[in-house]
Amino acid sequence: MRIGIDLGGTKIEAIALDDQGGEHSRIRVDTPRGDYPGTVAAIKGLVERVEAKMGMKGTVGVGIPGTVVRATGLVKNANSTWLNGEPLERDLSAALGREVRCANDANCFAVSEATDGAAAGHAIVFGVILGTGCGGGIAIHGNVHSGRNGNAGEWGHTPLPWATGNEIPGRPCYCGLSGCLETWISGTAFEKDFTEVTGRTLRGKEIVAGAEKGDAECAAALDRLENRLGRALAVIVNILDPDVIVLGGGLSNLDHLYSGRVESVMRQYVFGKQCDTPIVRNTHGDSSGVRGAAWLWPATAPGGAS
């Protein structure tokens, strides 16, 4: 049995999977916001509840909204700021009496889709999160690739490439820099861009619906989103050249992103202008993060896998 934990800003979810990816238990609790000891205790309690229900122990993987620096064992870059600077992986391992593995939640998404999702069978997978924020994760042969500094896949905090006109110098980002992809192609940025250009306020779904009904301003906003996403993904192809790109997050539900327009723009900016990398919709939706956390342990993992 593999237990996956998705540590979110408002809720913590636990799932139990068997070796074939079958789901046997799912439990959610509210996140003790701002309370680090409380967060550790909540995760411990979830694991114990799952194990009591299943009648066996399992391996434990945790997806976190940040990353663990391997040199120090401390969390960094978490938007759940009470985790930053804390030895979360060590503390959870001590609390549960076994090794616990933590990974960035976007990397968990990539692992999930690479294991038994839309990217199954592909060796190098780049997972994209387009939600309230914007992020990315890398899975190589089904395993997380986090990099020496734990920054691999931090695509949302790279600049919008080939910026022109009013895209320069870029919008300020919470990270302290300007022009990050998160400020251009996240769900939040999509709505903000529409308001800045038109003076109108609409939600993302309303913008898409307007475009489908022939609203020129809505169609132009959607075109800008697709163009910026295509440019941003061209950089991923130039550097990583993944076998497949999987989209997740709220914006991944937009059918327009799979019409071929994003891939066409991507080809225009890829070096040599030749690119057949598929861009696909995720299989597991909101469950990808928690499933990927469970898959942080391989099938032969010691210490409790059934």
Please give the Cα distance from 267 to 231 (Å, whole number). Answer: 9
For the residues of 51-69, what is the DSSP string, one character each?
HHHHTS--EEEEEESSEEE
Confirm if 11 and 24 have CB atoms less than 8 A apart. Answer: no
Q: Which residue has the tokens 């114990």?
A: 48
Q: How many DSSP H helices and E strands does the chain contain?
A: 9, 12
Question: Which three-class secondary structure state does DSSP give residue 167?
Answer: helix
Could you give the residue ranges of the DSSP H alpha helices within the chain? Answer: 36-54, 88-96, 105-116, 182-185, 187-198, 204-212, 216-239, 261-269, 288-294
Q: Which residues contact 152 (CB under 8 A, 6 or more apart)?
A: 107, 138, 145, 146
Q: Which residue has the tokens 């800045």?
A: 196
- Six-digit token pair at 245? 């790109």
Please give the Cα distance from 35 to 43 (Å, whole number). Answer: 12
CA distances to 79, 157, 246, 305 from 294, in Å: 22, 26, 19, 11
Q: Which residues contact 114 (CB under 8 A, 6 or more apart)?
A: 120, 122, 125, 139, 142
Q: Which residues contact 280 (CB under 8 A, 6 or more apart)?
A: 118, 119, 244, 245, 246, 247, 258
Please give the Cα distance from 156 to 182 (Å, whole number). Answer: 5
According to the model, what pLDDT value does residue 286 have? Answer: 86
Please give the Cα distance from 178 to 202 (Å, whole number). Answer: 24
According to the model, what pLDDT value does residue 299 have? Answer: 58
| Amino acid present at 228 | R
Asked whether the CA dihedral 37, 146, 255, 228 is positive or negative, the reply is positive
Q: Whose CA is closest to 280, among 252, 299, 306, 239?
A: 252
For the chain, percent of residues with pLDDT exceeding 90: 88
According to the model, what pLDDT value does residue 306 have? Answer: 34
Kindly give the pairing relationship between strand 2-7 and strand 59-64.
Answer: parallel
Q: Whose CA is closest to 64, among 48, 46, 82, 50?
A: 82
Count Cβ atoms within 10 A of the Cβ of residue 64 and give its class: 0-12 exposed, 13-18 middle, 19 or more buried: buried
Cα Dmax for the chain = 61
Q: Please report the domains of the chain, with CATH numbers, ordered by start residue.
A: 2-105 (3.30.420.40), 118-282 (3.30.420.40)
User: Is 0.75 topped by the overall pTM?
Assistant: yes
According to the model, what pLDDT value does residue 9 have? Answer: 86
Per-residue pLDDT of the chain (306 residues; tens, 9 = 90+): 999 999 988 899 999 999 888 999 899 999 999 999 999 999 999 999 999 999 999 999 999 999 999 899 999 998 899 999 999 999 999 999 999 999 999 999 999 999 999 999 999 999 999 988 899 999 999 999 999 888 999 999 999 999 999 999 999 998 899 999 999 999 999 999 999 999 999 999 999 999 999 999 999 999 999 999 999 999 999 999 999 999 999 999 999 999 999 999 999 999 999 999 999 999 999 899 999 999 999 754 433 333
